[in-house]
Amino acid sequence: MLQCTAVTLLPPDAVLRLTAPGADCPEDPEPYVLCELGEHDDQRTEHAAYLRPGRTPDSPALWFFWTGNGTERTHRAEPAPWCPALLRRIDSRLVQRCALFDHHTAAHSWDVTDPLGDLLADRLVPGDSPEG
């Protein structure tokens, strides 16, 4: 399943909250967020983007949910508990947790293909540096 391609601009208050003093990451957050769900019906299902982690890895993380575009958009930013689904890989014995929130629609995160994310990840892999 391909990832939903919806992108939206974060409202100023959400950006402010992410840059609040004491935030772990001092860099300016991207003012745009990308829906992380698998392709879904955007009339009936909200788009969802991960904003920031909770206090512990198991705490509910902050998500941005929205429907519609431009002036038609409705949105909310609120904590959501994690999806409890686990993927057990027989070959490597690794257990992967779903990276989405509980009761999300569409596929679990491991079944969602993110061509853009793969592209970005490829770029982050260090290649041959000029310094050797």
Distance separating alpha carbons of residues 89 and 100, to the nearest angstrom: 18
Closest CA to 75 of 49, 53, 38: 49
Tokens found for residue 35:
């829906």
Binds Zn ion by CB under 5 A, chosen from 47, 51, 62, 112: 47
Contact predicate 32/8, CB 8 Å:
yes
Tokens found for residue 30:
């991207």
Stretch that binds Zn ion, among 18-26, 79-87, 111-119, 122-130 (CB under 5 A): 79-87
Tokens found for residue 66:
């929205």
Block residue for tokens 């429907």: 67
Q: Restricting to residues 48-77, name those near Zn ion by CB under 5 A.
A: none
Stretch that binds Zn ion, among 5-13, 19-27, 55-63, 124-132 (CB under 5 A): 5-13
Minimum CB separation from Zn ion for residue 86, in Å?
9
Minimum CB separation from Zn ion for residue 19, in Å?
25
- In degrees to the nearest 10, what's the CA dihedral of 29, 69, 7, 97? 90
Residue 10 interacting with Zn ion (CB under 5 A): no
Q: Please work out the total of residues on this chain that contact Zn ion, with binding judged by CB under 5 A.
A: 10
Stretch that binds Zn ion, among 15-23, 24-32, 67-75, 85-93 (CB under 5 A): 85-93
Total residues belonging to the chain: 132
Q: Which residues bind Zn ion (CB under 5 A)?
A: 4, 6, 35, 37, 47, 83, 85, 98, 100, 108
